[in-house]
Structure 1
């Protein structure tokens, strides 16, 4: 089933713990080239937000699998609470082509987002819709978390689920693992009043998942770097009887 992201993490600094700075820079370069291609094709200058979904692959190395002209959701929420520069100033600078004059400043914290969705999402959104939801924002804030409301409708003074991710819980700390633990403490303060089940991914930001991602990234990195040295990055090589080796 296709779902929106059920959570996201941000480490201290520009990269995640399992991504190198070179891989980050190569991903950014792909995004830049795509924007330049869009501008050439449309003969118009792009001004606005760009989000690129990066994937580390054994065939291509760092790869952008999709892009959109908005903040990532929920990953944009990992970043925006740390922004110290006035966002209005940033938007005005983008519109007036003077962004180079604005000094972007962010607080250096690790952050974790975990999304909560009603059972039924994503395949049976009709079942996930219309459930009264209760969120104790005061206690969540006491725990060090923050709530971002999402697919929730107001009907006759009540908050009802809209069939998709109902809300996200955000926390920040010195490490990703610590921020994840804060979010876990906040989860009990969100529930559906009719007894319908909410689900989320408890493993996001956990030490075990981070270690799993590190090990997988090391394997993928070793393969794509080998392919790069052999000049076969991005190529598919096969053997057909009677024809021999073919390259796609």
Structure 2
């Protein structure tokens, strides 16, 4: 992404934000009203979708390295005087685990699914124990799960739980994220191992180049 692309994105976002505020009908618009999903083409950035919430999993990458107090940030938003937000200069990688039916995984890779584990409780205890090893550099965030009457947690239909790794490099953060997921047991959950790898990043960059030429 070039600096010109970034400037164009900001122009588009400001235009949408101005539209959301209306012609004086909603001048006190506050909070995180939207995040924009962009695609970059040979004619510049285009919007794929708008969402009226922080992005998931994007927000999981950001909050752990937020230097400002989040509550203070919220109050500054309400007061209308939030000028900037500061983050630590560190890398973060988030990887999700999902149930076998999510994304059609069970149908495409039936040999990778332990059918005897489907519907069984999901144990996060070993993953949480990694905080003793890495302190706050590994974060475990439950997602589509429920606590049942037997006192155990079970996966539902969407993304079940994610692990955020934090490090000085992307590779360091990635390894911590994967270690966090490998410590989670039960539920026949699956996860991608290529997220944020050198190969995955290179493939994404190449894909972006092709999109610019195609669109």
* Distance in 2 separating the partners of 1:41 and 1:131: 54
Correspondences of 1:39-188 after superposition (within 5 Å): 39-40=21-22, 43-45=25-27, 46-49=29-32, 50-58=34-42, 60-100=43-83, 103-122=84-103, 130-135=119-124, 136-141=126-131, 142=133, 144-156=137-149, 157-188=151-182
User: Per the alignment, do residues 61 and 88 of structure 1 end up closer, same or farther by CA in structure 2, a change over 3 Å counting?
Assistant: same
SS, match of residue 198 in structure 1: coil
Bigger fraction of residues in helix: 2
Alpha-carbon deviation of 1:88?
A: 1.3
* Distance in 1 separating the partners of 2:168 and 2:73: 27
How many pairs are equivalent?
Answer: 198
Alpha-carbon deviation of 1:108?
A: 0.6
SS, match of residue 216 in structure 1: helix
SS, match of residue 134 in structure 1: coil
Alpha-carbon deviation of 1:129?
A: 8.6
Cα displacement string for residues 96-116 of structure 1 (whole angstroms, at most 9, x for unaligned residues): 21223xx52210111100010
SS, match of residue 81 in structure 1: helix
Alpha-carbon deviation of 1:23?
A: 2.0
Matched, 1:214 2:195: no
Alpha-carbon deviation of 1:30?
A: 1.2
Correspondences of 1:4-15 after superposition (within 5 Å): none
Bigger fraction of residues in strand: 1
User: Per the alignment, do residues 42 and 189 of structure 1 end up closer, same or farther by CA in structure 2, a change over 3 Å counting?
Assistant: farther
Alpha-carbon deviation of 1:52?
A: 1.2
Whether the aligned pair in 2 keeps the contact of 1:139 and 1:189 (CA below 8 Å) is no
SS, match of residue 30 in structure 2: coil
Cα displacement string for residues 98-147 of structure 1 (whole angstroms, at most 9, x for unaligned residues): 223xx5221011110001001112569xx999541011234432254210
User: Per the alignment, do residues 169 and 42 of structure 1 end up closer, same or farther by CA in structure 2, a change over 3 Å counting?
Assistant: farther
> Which residue is equivalent to 2:110?
none
Task: Calculate the TM-score normalised by the size of structure 1.
Answer: 0.71
CA RMSD of aligned residues (A): 2.6
* Distance in 2 separating the partners of 1:25 and 1:111: 24
> Which residue is equivalent to 1:237?
none
* Distance in 2 separating the partners of 1:78 and 1:159: 24
User: Per the alignment, do residues 130 and 36 of structure 1 end up closer, same or farther by CA in structure 2, a change over 3 Å counting?
Assistant: farther
Unaligned runs of 5+ in 1: 1-18, 225-233, 235-248
Alpha-carbon deviation of 1:182?
A: 2.0
